[in-house]
Amino acid sequence: MPRKDPYESDDFKRWSADMRRRLIPKMRGSETVLMLAPDLKADFDISFALQIGACILLEKPLILVIHPGKIVPPKLRTIADRIIEIDLDGVTMNDAEIQEAIRRAMMDLGKQ
């Protein structure tokens, strides 16, 4: 019995249509892409990989926010325009220190 192409499944078609409808237009319309880096030692994060790839293909500046000491793969470190290392434990993205670091990065990178 031949294996089915996973890209032809209804689930994948729904997911990819959702990404094309919601995510890609937002990325196209933004000046920069800000991402919280997941634990790269955990299960492979397909959504994160899609966003990184789209960021590259759309030629958007990439700002990664990571927990101090988190290992960032060398190639990901190379393509990131800015990496903000900040303690994310017990804080929200509204934290003044996080907001200031993001604001500085976005001002530095500006429209590219």
pLDDT computed for residue 57 by the predictor: 95
Domain that holds residue 103: 6-109
pLDDT computed for residue 92 by the predictor: 82
pTM of the model: 0.80
pLDDT, one tens digit per residue, over 58-83 is: 999 999 999 888 888 999 999 999 99
Residue at 71 is within a domain? yes
Torsion of CA 61, 27, 57, 103, to 10 degrees: 10
Number of compact structural domains in the chain: 1
pLDDT, one tens digit per residue, over 5-52 is: 888 899 999 999 999 999 999 999 988 888 888 877 778 888 899 999
Residue at 51 is within a domain? yes
CATH number at residue 12: 3.40.50
Evaluate whether 64 touches 80 at the Cβ level (below 8 Å).
yes
Residue at 78 is within a domain? yes
